[in-house]
């Protein structure tokens, strides 16, 4: 039987289970484009429960232990003395989330001779060194589309929060003030802005569709141009490269995967080519930007605001400069971990495990690496040439 090592974020400080705000969540049966939601043989949880923390266990314990497997769940993931390092050498399956990633570097993979499956509960497997996984014959899979709409909604929220100067305005209320002039001195209407999306995949297209009713001018860049009918429907302006896009818009919204071509893409040179007073929203990966160049651009006024919920590493140090830089609207990595999304990615995690233990094919759309090569979604989203992801650091 197998050891499954599952790394999840810590429980709420107020204890587990929490008092839920609602008694149920809507039932979603499919995604735009026709992909169906995860379909495991059974669920070990009630949709709407908090599953992504240690006590939630993704609802997997009863299922796995009934099959004779060992499940180890921990939030202790960093450093040579962590619980993750302790259990890694004899783990056959490692499960992690993008929000609290267990970084599977080449060094860690070398310490895990039994490892066969690295599974992301959610979307984004760049915390795994994909090159090392390919060489070791490890299958890498994730629950594609499970939280794409969740992230798209979060990105739209952060765009509005920045442009409307929402958070400082709210803080005046919390502090007992009524300082309208201070609130509106950096507040604008989104209407009429040029908004550019980098990477018009599932999340990027969902953002485009949600922004269209705001009467903005929509731009996008992607390595694969969208069909002409989609461009006409949403009145999109296509840009052949990132440089062309960022110099033409007021808001840049990033949804690209992290790979060698996007690593540190937003450096001082690119940021300084943007319109003064532009905004960046990044719910993709922090390392697409240069950390300190973002801070400098906010301090000089080249950027009017930066928002995102992705950091590097995760969690960031208490003195990470993005915590205290001006004109930010940062969140912990929560955009894809709503209770609604958790129901889908926990179900997808179980579906992948069921297929794996039954020696059945894992859905192609869930695959990132298989058979010693990029596969499925991974072949369309990543490159593997020695610097595939932060997992390599």
Residue spans per domain, the chain: 3-146+337-376, 148-323
What topology is assigned to 3-146+337-376 in CATH?
Answer: Rossmann fold (3.40.50)
The model's pTM is 0.93
- Torsion angle of alpha carbons 382, 376, 116, 337, nearest 10°? 70
Tens of pLDDT, residues 173-231:
999 999 999 999 999 999 999 999 999 999 999 999 999 999 999 999 999 999 999 99
d(CA 205, CA 156): 12
What's the rounded mean pLDDT across residues 254-270?
A: 95
Tens of pLDDT, residues 295-324:
999 999 999 999 999 999 989 999 999 999
148-323: CATH architecture:
3-Layer(aba) Sandwich (3.40)
Sheet holding 251-254, edge to edge: 236-238, 217-221, 194-198, 251-254, 278-282, 303-308
d(CA 98, CA 106): 18
- How many of the other CB atoms lie within 10 Å of CB of 30? 10
Tens of pLDDT, residues 131-182:
999 999 999 999 999 999 999 999 999 999 999 999 999 999 999 999 999 9
d(CA 207, CA 196): 10
* Nearest one of 50, 52, 48, 44 to 23, comparing CA atoms: 48
- How many of the other CB atoms lie within 10 Å of CB of 19? 7
Give catalytic residue positions: 147, 285, 314, 333
Average pLDDT, the chain: 95
Cβ proximity of 181 and 123 under 8 Å? no
- How many of the other CB atoms lie within 10 Å of CB of 213? 7
278: exposed, middle or buried (C-beta count within 10 Å: 0-12, 13-18, 19+)?
buried
């Amino acid at each position: 039987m197998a050891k499954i090592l599952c790394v999840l974020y810590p429980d709420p400080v107020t204890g587990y289970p929490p008092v839920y705000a609602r008694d149920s969540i809507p039932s979603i049966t499919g995604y735009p484009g026709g992909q169906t939601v995860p379909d495991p043989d059974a669920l070990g949880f009630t949709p709407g429960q908090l599953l992504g923390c240690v006590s939630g266990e993704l609802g997997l314990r009863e299922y796995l232990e009934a099959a004779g497997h060992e499940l180890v769940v921990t939030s202790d993931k960093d450093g040579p003395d962590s619980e993750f390092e302790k259990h890694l050498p004899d783990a056959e399956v490692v499960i992690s989330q993008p929000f609290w990633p267990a970084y599977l570097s080449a060094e860690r993979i070398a310490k895990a001779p039994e490892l066969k499956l690295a599974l992301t509960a959610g979307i984004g497997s760049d915390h795994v060194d994909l090159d090392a996984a390919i060489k070791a014959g490890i299958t890498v899979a994730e629950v594609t589309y499970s939280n794409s709409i969740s992230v798209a909604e979060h990105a739209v929220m952060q765009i509005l929060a920045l442009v409307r100067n929402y958070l400082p305005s709210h803080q005046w209320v919390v502090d007992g003030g009524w300082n309208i002039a201070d609130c509106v001195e950096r507040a604008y209407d989104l209407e009429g802005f040029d908004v550019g999306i980098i990477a018009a995949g599932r999340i990027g297209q969902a953002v485009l569709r949600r922004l269209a009713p705001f009467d903005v001018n929509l731009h996008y860049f992607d390595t694969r141009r969208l069909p002409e009918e989609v461009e006409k429907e949403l009145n999109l302006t296509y840009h052949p490269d990132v440089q062309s896009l960022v110099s033409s818009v007021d808001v840049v919204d990033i949804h690209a995967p992290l790979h060698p071509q996007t690593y540190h893409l937003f450096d001082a040179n690119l940021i300084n080519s943007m319109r003064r007073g532009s905004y960046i929203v990044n719910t993709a990966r922090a390392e697409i930007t240069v950390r300190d160049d973002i801070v400098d651009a906010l301090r000089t006024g080249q950027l009017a605001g930066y928002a995102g919920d992705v950091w590097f590493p995760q969690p960031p140090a208490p003195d990470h400069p993005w915590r205290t830089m001006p004109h930010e609207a940062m969140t912990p990595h929560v955009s894809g971990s709503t209770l609604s999304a958790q129901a889908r990615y926990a179900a997808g995690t179980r579906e992948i495990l069921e297929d794996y233990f039954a020696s059945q094919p894992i859905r192609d759309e869930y695959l990132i690496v298989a058979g010693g090569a990029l596969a499925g979604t991974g072949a369309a989203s990543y490159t593997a040439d020695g610097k595939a992801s932060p997992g390599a650091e």
